[in-house]
């Protein structure tokens, strides 16, 4: 008995020691929010205070110290986020996750993000380099001198910040700006999808699948099926599945997909992201500005909610940067810095927000700034490709650089990266290209505007943070390059404006493909013909906005009606825009409360368009009568607590798979559908009862089959009582942690998930990805923040986002905004808060 007692006493002691060790580690991992810290590299003391809304206020004696302090704070609060993002853009994930991420690393190395970042850094003026260098110094100072323990991600994965190099460099900041451009400014996926579809569809069917923007004709009259067949670009065995293959009933839909058994769970999310780069669909936002003539105060109101992939921690970090005027790095006088709003960890600027006198908000413009080119390989020398020239075919050597990728537990991998005169050869890094193309004859290269050396977006961000009026803001953004954004702006004097900022390429008059699909790279007429001048980008001045009362954008086409300007055709369907216009027009004079109600709106005009087809669908399914009863009073409002939105969403998913899949074949559908929804195609096919797509029995039969499959998968996954089904139960807003979201034991702690309503077409957006292997209807892409600025009193400005300021999973501040975000509630965004909850001083 004595030995048994001693044994259990020893076990208890070990448990207590372990608990104490964990407790000490957790305590040491929290950032210092009060007191003093010494930070090497500062020139003077910096005050870092956090107000009741948890906005971080940085007050420095110089702009350089303010930017350095922001880098320090980002490293304190978002260290793992910085490290993971750095590894993504550098193509260094395999060093910590193993060869499962090798394809993702190869793609990022092929794109040359960091190679372009280095060129762009070298070309920046000293004035723009200073904040990037200071920010990097701040991040590195934290890791060099802080006693704060690393967050658990570093320990679980055995990662050292920065690996063998520095935790952060100025080039990393330039690279992260390029990554934002990659996420928001890409349509090469649509171009490749059109190429793939042209293998099994004629050109008329191609445009029925990739529908032109409402009211527009197809951007190109080229017979793509004939062009590509004539060139012989396809492999003989390329994705053979086509119209002869039947789409298997119930193969997709709710929980209908399986995760491959050999997939490393840690890599699922990031590999899926990489596989879908180049698809701009759904990557949008809402913003609007109301002239004083349409508000109760007589001063403008401005609202913004950028739609981005939800993540934990969130993409944003709210801060104020304040410093007096002084001398810049170039020796010239530098204006004072006082700006508050959303910063991006990785960058030293407030991206969205306000100064003391002017506010602004972004939406993604989405012009076509990426073109794919078919590069013909010289049969006599595979290291050469065809270039323009008269007479016999002219050939040039590919440029080649070698990249070394470190792989955990494996030998290093050497990657030869080829580039043509257009840009990187994507076919060398994307397996789907090799599955479709005869790469012994053709490869595909990419020209992308963001990779140009003259990208001076950092200069634009710096000057925007100094602006005090609409005119100054417009002038500041003349240097913005990528991604192109729609900016609404308003100042305290009452002036309002809209301006599309960034570079968009011009195409030649005889370019008959116009960048909507891969073009023959040896034909000079498909080369770009320069850039749209900043003075000619879409815009609206105070007079035109004042006449209407407002200006709004929701990623619809910004090209004026009747204009000869061509910026592309992959715009968002104008459902959100039309709904915002309805709501703005419905109230003669708005205030902040009415603007916030627009943010909360969940009426889906897209659902309302297809709903009558579902409501009249005949079905013999045992649950059909109950389902139709749930749908009887459905008005298209995608409420989280209602069954009808769930029934509709699963039905339209099954309908899309059945109609489109029967034409494309299962394999080709799988490669295109999910992040791309084909809603416009389904709407038009159903409205004209197109038997060419629906089959001889017509579209009513397809609708019946889709409803039967939908009810079966819902019965299996949600039970046999439709009245108890709720859209919000499966439409959870999932802010996913990278890379722990796919590991169930870790995801329960690191992910942030809340039930939501809405869909891809509501103002309060909730985009889901039907191809998601685990949660096909989870809300993955939504309002990454909401902000409302009242120019009558900018101290009444408000904001919210979906997680919290802290990136430390143990912190109460990791997810403390989620309830307010889902309820469309806000926190104050003030330069002069009543007081501060925490005050820290950073000293040299």
| Per-residue burial over 243-282, b = 16 or more CB atoms within 10 Å of its CB, e = otherwise | eebebeebbbbbebbeeeeeeebbbbbbbbebbbbbbbbb
Tokens read off for 532: 């749209």
> 200 with 243: CB under 8 angstroms?
yes
Angle, alpha carbons 772-774-778 (nearest 5°): 70
pLDDT at position 239 is 61
pLDDT band for position 4 (cuts 50, 70, 90): confident
Tokens read off for 142: 């934290």
Q: What is the DSSP letter of 370?
A: E
Residue of 281, 56, 68, 216 whose CA lies nearest to 844: 68
Backbone φ, ψ for residue 361 (5° rounding): -145, 150
pLDDT at position 505 is 98
Rounded-to-integer distance, Cα 662 and Cα 668, Å:
10
pLDDT at position 252 is 42
Residues 41-87 have pLDDT tens digits of: 999 999 999 999 999 999 999 999 999 999 999 999 999 999 999 99
Rounded-to-integer distance, Cα 543 and Cα 497, Å:
9
Residues 467-487 have pLDDT tens digits of: 999 999 999 999 999 999 999
Residue of 486, 485, 490 whose CA lies nearest to 467: 490
pLDDT at position 561 is 86
Dihedral sign of CA atoms 605, 607, 613, 616 in order? negative
> Which residues contact residue 202 at a Cβ distance below 8 angstroms, ignoring those fewer than 6 apart?
225
Q: Determine the average pLDDT of the residues in 442-466.
A: 98
pLDDT at position 18 is 67
> Which residues contact residue 325 at a Cβ distance below 8 angstroms, ignoring those fewer than 6 apart?
333, 334, 335, 336
> 445 with 425: CB under 8 angstroms?
yes
DSSP-derived 3-state class of residue 372:
strand
Residues 350-387 have pLDDT tens digits of: 999 999 999 999 999 999 999 999 999 999 999 999 99
Rounded-to-integer distance, Cα 527 and Cα 506, Å:
9
pLDDT at position 11 is 66
> 805 with 56: CB under 8 angstroms?
yes
Rounded-to-integer distance, Cα 793 and Cα 790, Å:
6
Mean pLDDT over the full length of the chain: 94
Cβ-based burial of 33 (10 A; exposed 0-12, middle 13-18, buried ≥19): middle
Rounded-to-integer distance, Cα 567 and Cα 582, Å:
26
The secondary element (H helix, E strand) that includes residue 107 is helix 102-111
Q: What is the DSSP letter of 57?
A: E
Tokens read off for 688: 């004209």
DSSP character string of 705-729: HHHHHHHHHHHHHH-S-GGG--HHH
Please identify which residue in the block is written with the tokens 């998913």.
653
DSSP3 helix / strand / coil % (the chain, rounded to 5): 40, 20, 40
Residues 553-601 have pLDDT tens digits of: 999 999 998 899 999 999 999 999 999 999 999 999 999 999 999 999 9
Residue 256, pLDDT > 70, answer no
Residue 261, pLDDT > 80, answer no
Q: How far apart are the first and last CA of the chain?
A: 61
Task: For 219-328, list the strands marked E by DSSP.
Answer: 285-290, 301-309, 317-323, 326-327
pLDDT band for position 257 (cuts 50, 70, 90): very low
pLDDT at position 326 is 82
Residues 15-52 have pLDDT tens digits of: 666 677 778 888 899 999 999 999 999 999 999 999 99
| Helices 457-464 + 126-145 axis angle, to 10 | 80
Please identify which residue in the block is written with the tokens 């006088």.
333
Of 4-8, 633-637, 738-742, which gets the smallest average pLDDT?
A: 4-8
DSSP character string of 180-201: HHHHHS--HHHHHHHHHHTTTS
The secondary element (H helix, E strand) that includes residue 140 is helix 126-145
Strands 394-397, 381-387: parallel, antiparallel or unpaired by DSSP? Answer: antiparallel
Residues 648-689 have pLDDT tens digits of: 999 999 999 999 999 999 999 999 999 899 999 999 999 999
pLDDT at position 243 is 44
> 309 with 781: CB under 8 angstroms?
yes
DSSP-derived 3-state class of residue 454:
coil
pLDDT band for position 249 (cuts 50, 70, 90): very low
Q: What is the DSSP letter of 234?
A: B
pLDDT band for position 8 (cuts 50, 70, 90): low
Tokens read off for 284: 């949008």
Residues 199-232 have pLDDT tens digits of: 999 999 999 999 999 999 999 999 999 999 999 9
> Which residues contact residue 24 at a Cβ distance below 8 angstroms, ignoring those fewer than 6 apart?
none
> 212 with 420: CB under 8 angstroms?
no
Please identify which residue in the block is written with the tokens 């191809």.
771
pLDDT at position 240 is 54
Task: For 12-128, list the strands marked E by DSSP.
Answer: 35-38, 46-51, 56-59
pLDDT at position 276 is 87
Residue 244, pLDDT > 50, answer no
Residue 253, pLDDT > 50, answer no
Residue of 754, 710, 668 whose CA lies nearest to 256: 710
DSSP-derived 3-state class of residue 116:
helix
Q: What is the DSSP letter of 733?
A: E
- 603 prior amide bond cis, ω within 30: no
Q: Determine the average pLDDT of the residues in 816-821.
A: 98
Rounded-to-integer distance, Cα 139 and Cα 69, Å:
8
Rounded-to-integer distance, Cα 388 and Cα 525, Å:
9
Instruction: Name the percent of the chain lying above pLDDT 90.
Output: 88
DSSP-derived 3-state class of residue 256:
coil
Strands 370-378, 519-520: parallel, antiparallel or unpaired by DSSP? Answer: parallel
Tokens read off for 10: 């020893």
Residue of 404, 439, 452 whose CA lies nearest to 106: 404
Other CB atoms within 10 Å distance of the CB of residue 611: 19
Q: Determine the average pLDDT of the residues in 229-251.
A: 64
> Which residues contact residue 628 at a Cβ distance below 8 angstroms, ignoring those fewer than 6 apart?
615
Rounded-to-integer distance, Cα 466 and Cα 339, Å:
7
């Amino acid at each position: 008995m004595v030995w048994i007692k001693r044994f259990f006493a020893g076990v208890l002691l070990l448990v207590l020691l372990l608990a104490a060790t964990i407790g000490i580690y957790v305590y040491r991992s929290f950032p210092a929010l009060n007191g003093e810290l010494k930070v090497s590299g500062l020139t003077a003391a910096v005050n870092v205070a956090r107000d009741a809304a948890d906005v971080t206020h940085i007050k420095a004696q110089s702009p350089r110290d303010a930017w350095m302090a922001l880098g320090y704070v980002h490293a304190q609060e978002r260290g793992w986020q910085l490290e993971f993002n750095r590894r993504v853009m550098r193509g260094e994930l395999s060093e910590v996750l193993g060869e499962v991420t090798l394809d993702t690393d190869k793609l990022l190395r092929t794109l040359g993000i960091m190679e372009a970042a280095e060129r762009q850094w070298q070309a920046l003026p000293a004035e723009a380099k200073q904040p990037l260098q200071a920010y990097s110094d701040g991040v590195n100072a934290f890791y060099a001198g802080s006693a704060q323990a690393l967050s658990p991600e570093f320990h679980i994965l055995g990662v050292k910040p920065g690996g063998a190099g520095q935790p952060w460099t100025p080039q990393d900041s330039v690279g992260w700006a390029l990554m934002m451009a990659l996420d928001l400014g890409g349509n090469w996926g649509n171009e490749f999808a059109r190429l793939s579809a042209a293998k099994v569809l004629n050109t008329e069917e191609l445009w029925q699948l990739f529908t032109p923007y409402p009211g527009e004709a197809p951007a190109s009259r080229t017979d793509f099926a004939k062009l590509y067949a004539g060139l012989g670009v396809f492999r003989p065995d390329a994705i053979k599945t086509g119209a002869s293959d039947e789409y298997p009933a119930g193969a997709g839909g709710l929980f209908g997909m399986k995760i491959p058994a050999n997939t490393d769970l840690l890599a699922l999310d990031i590999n899926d992201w990489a596989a879908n780069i180049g698809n701009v669909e759904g990557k949008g936002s809402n913003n609007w500005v109301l002239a004083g003539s349409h508000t109760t105060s007589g001063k403008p109101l401005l609202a913004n909610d950028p739609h981005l992939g939800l993540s934990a921690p969130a993409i944003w970090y709210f801060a104020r940067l304040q410093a007096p005027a002084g001398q810049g790095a170039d020796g010239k006088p530098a204006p004072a810095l006082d700006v508050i709003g959303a910063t991006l960890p990785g960058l030293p600027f407030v991206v969205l927000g306000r100064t003391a006198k002017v506010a602004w908000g972004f939406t993604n413009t989405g012009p076509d700034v990426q073109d794919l080119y078919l590069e013909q390989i010289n049969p006599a020398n595979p290291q050469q490709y065809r270039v323009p020239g008269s007479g016999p075919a002219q050939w040039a050597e590919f440029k080649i650089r070698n990249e070394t990728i470190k792989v955990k537990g494996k030998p290093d991998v050497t990657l030869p990266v080829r580039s043509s005169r257009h840009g990187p050869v994507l076919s060398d890094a994307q397996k789907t290209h090799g599955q479709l193309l005869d790469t012994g004859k053709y490869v595909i290269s990419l020209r992308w505007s963001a990779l140009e050396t003259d990208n001076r977006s950092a200069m634009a961000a710096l000057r925007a943070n100094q602006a005090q009026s609409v005119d100054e803001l417009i002038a500041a953004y003349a240097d913005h390059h990528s991604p192109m954004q729609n900016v609404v702006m308003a100042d305290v004097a009452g002036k309002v404006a809209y301006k599309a900022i960034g570079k968009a390429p011009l195409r030649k008059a005889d370019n008959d493909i116009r960048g909507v699909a891969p073009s023959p790279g040896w034909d000079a007429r498909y080369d770009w013909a320069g850039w749209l001048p900043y003075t000619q980008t879409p815009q609206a001045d105070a007079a035109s906005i004042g006449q209407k009362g407002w200006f709004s954008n929701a990623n619809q086409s910004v090209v004026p009606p009747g204009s000869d300007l061509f910026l592309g055709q992959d715009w968002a369907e104008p459902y959100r825009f039309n709904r915002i216009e309805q709501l703005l027009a419905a109230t003669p004079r708005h205030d902040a409360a009415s603007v916030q109600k627009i943010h909360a709106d969940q009426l889906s005009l897209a659902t309302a368009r297809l709903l009558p087809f579902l409501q009249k669908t005949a079905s013999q399914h045992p649950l059909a009568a109950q389902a139709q009863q749930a749908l009887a009073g459905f008005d298209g409002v995608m409420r989280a607590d209602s069954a009808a939105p769930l029934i509709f969403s699963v039905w339209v998913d099954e309908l899309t798979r059945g109609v489109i899949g029967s034409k494309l074949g299962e394999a080709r559908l799988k490669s295109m559908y999910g992040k791309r929804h084909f809603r416009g195609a389904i709407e038009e096919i159903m409205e004209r009862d197109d038997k060419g797509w629906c089959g001889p029995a017509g579209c009513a039969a397809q609708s019946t089959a889709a409803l039967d499959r939908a009810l079966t998968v819902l019965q299996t996954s949600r039970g046999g009582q439709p009245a108890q089904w709720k859209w919000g139960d499966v439409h959870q807003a999932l802010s996913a942690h990278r890379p722990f979201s796919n590991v169930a034991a870790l995801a329960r702690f690191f992910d942030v998930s809340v039930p939501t309503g809405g869909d891809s077409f509501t103002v309060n957006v909730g985009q889901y990805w039907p191809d998601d292997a685990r949660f096909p209807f989870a809300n993955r892409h939504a309002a990454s923040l909401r902000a409302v600025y009242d120019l009558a009193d900018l101290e009444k400005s408000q904001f919210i986002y979906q997680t919290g300021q802290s990136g430390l999973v143990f912190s109460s501040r990791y997810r403390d905004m989620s309830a307010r975000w889902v309820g469309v509630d806000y926190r104050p965004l003030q330069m002069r808060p009543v007081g501060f909850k925490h005050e820290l001083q950073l000293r040299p």
